[in-house]
Amino acid sequence: MSEDKFDTLRIHGGFNPEEHENAAQIPIYQSAAFTLGTAVQGDAIASGVVTGSYTYSRVGNPTVNTLEKRIAALDGGVDAVAVGSGMAAITYAILNVAEGGGRIIAPYDIYGAALDEFEKLFPKYGINFDLVENVNDFEKIQSLIQPDTKAIYVESVSNPTTEIADIEKLAEIAHQANIPLIVDNTFSTPYLLRPIEFGADIVVYSSTKGISGHGNVVSGLIVDGGNFDWANGKYPQFQENEYSLKNVNFPKNYSFSNVFGKQAFIKRIRMKYVRLMGAVLGPVDAYLELLGLETITERLDKEVATSLKIAKFLEKNPHVKKVYYSALPDSPQYELAAKYFPKGIGTVLSFELDGTPEQTDQVIDATHVFLYLPNVGDSRSLIVNPSKITHREIPEERRLKSHITDQLLRLSIGLEDSDDLINDLEGAINSAFNK
């Protein structure tokens, strides 16, 4: 199976009909728990000597597990775990590396709720963030690494200004310091970018977005590339004995890193965070996501082509001051885009209106095809004003440094006819400037 290419894996990855009553499509296992067989079998399952059996759906569920195996295959990872939201994926990945306290380096230009969590909530748990203005300021990042720095965290393409992170260089810097690189790959999806191939260790997703692709689930995924050594001495949580892992095979050293080796990261998230903190994904949501994944190639090919067409249209519009879409030939990141994103950088772009905040509101109100809401990666095209909605919790001064002015509008491009989308935007902009 692992030799199959992306388009085969997105349909078949992680699923064998013979293990599911020969069902062609993955059944929805809407069951909270699973029978354990005999008492002897129950003991073997509970002790971890027998693997692959299900016990309780907070720990594992066949429908959810198919999604987990499929995303691991699509991303070239060794294992994955699904959780209840993208924020849960980010939270659990950060807690799993920095449990007990430590520092993490990240850029300011990240998802608004993640920035709020990093700046305000995690420090209350002893996890502090060194935030940088520019994700590709390698010298600055290197200078911030301290003995208790536990990871570098970046978004492959930032929200809303589509800054591309130079993952290969960032992974090099992280690995020199014996720490992992965590990449939020939500905007790209594994179809446009596979961060593990460029050296990333952990990939997190809000699969609410382009992976499920239809705006009908809230969900998150964490994928492990399996190349990081969690027993390097910097992560005691992986090296301490974990009583629930003790069994006849591991009577003495039953730590996560000893029992699971380089697959310890996801096992630990599943057993310590999903099982104990409980942000579990339900089987119906996992099913919807698997269904969405089946058409990811066709969806993204069309949406990316339309995004580029719309970016070029906006660039020429006299009422647009600036377009943020790093795939445009005159973008300062054009070379990085060509290196990391031969199939295009994605379906999200932003533009700054050359007008007043009131005119910006009027553009939102005058669009008919674009829906006004805070989401991306839907099959419907979406428009939002980040300064008032998605990045509202970020203080104005900080927002402006990230180019999030009151005149910035973010678009997420769906599957509608591209001419209709352009006409909708052009009509809305004209109406705002003719008032």
Interacting residues toward ligand PLP by CB under 6 A: 85-87, 111, 114, 155, 159, 184, 186-187, 206, 208-209, 218, 220, 376
Q: Provide the minimum distance between the beta carbon of 215 and ligand PLP in the complex, in angstroms, as a whole number.
A: 11
C-alpha separations of 35 from 7, 57, 217, 397 in Å = 35, 12, 29, 56
Could you tell me which of 342, 363, 344 has the C-alpha nearest to residue 407? 363
CA 121 to chain centre: 20
Could you tell me which of 297, 300, 299, 309 has the C-alpha nearest to residue 418? 309
* Of 183 and 327, CB closest to ligand PLP: 183
Could you tell me which of 205, 193, 187 has the C-alpha nearest to residue 378? 187
* Of 208 and 405, CB closest to ligand PLP: 208
Q: Provide the minimum distance between the beta carbon of 85 and ligand PLP in the complex, in angstroms, as a whole number.
A: 3
Q: What are phi and psi of 47, to 5 degrees?
A: -85, -10
* Of 306 and 390, CB closest to ligand PLP: 390
CB distance 257 to 265 below 8 Å? no
Q: What are phi and psi of 411, to 5 degrees?
A: -115, 145
Q: Provide the minimum distance between the beta carbon of 1 and ligand PLP in the complex, in angstroms, as a whole number.
A: 28
Residue 37: CB atoms within 10 Å: 12
Q: Provide the minimum distance between the beta carbon of 197 and ligand PLP in the complex, in angstroms, as a whole number.
A: 20
* Secondary structure class of 222 (helix, strand, coil): strand
Q: Provide the minimum distance between the beta carbon of 210 and ligand PLP in the complex, in angstroms, as a whole number.
A: 9
Q: Provide the minimum distance between the beta carbon of 364 and ligand PLP in the complex, in angstroms, as a whole number.
A: 19
Question: Which residue's Cβ has the minimum distance to ligand PLP?
Answer: 86
* Of 209 and 267, CB closest to ligand PLP: 209
* Of 119 and 242, CB closest to ligand PLP: 119
Residues 6+ positions from 319 with CB-CB distance below 8 Å: 353, 354, 355, 429, 432, 433
Q: Provide the minimum distance between the beta carbon of 281 and ligand PLP in the complex, in angstroms, as a whole number.
A: 11
* Of 196 and 422, CB closest to ligand PLP: 196
Q: Provide the minimum distance between the beta carbon of 242 and ligand PLP in the complex, in angstroms, as a whole number.
A: 28
Q: Which residue has the tokens 């006299």?
A: 318
Strands (E), 25-91: 79-83
Buried b (16+ CB within 10 A) or exposed e, 69-98: bbbbbbbbbbbbbbbbbbbbbbbbbbbbbb
* Of 279 and 366, CB closest to ligand PLP: 279
* Of 187 and 256, CB closest to ligand PLP: 187
Q: How far is it, in rounded angstroms, from Cα 183 to Cα 196?
A: 9
Tokens, residue 131: 């935030």
* Of 99 and 184, CB closest to ligand PLP: 184
* Of 239 and 347, CB closest to ligand PLP: 347
Q: How far is it, in rounded angstroms, from Cα 288 to Cα 292?
A: 6
Q: Provide the minimum distance between the beta carbon of 9 and ligand PLP in the complex, in angstroms, as a whole number.
A: 23
Residue 335: CB atoms within 10 Å: 10
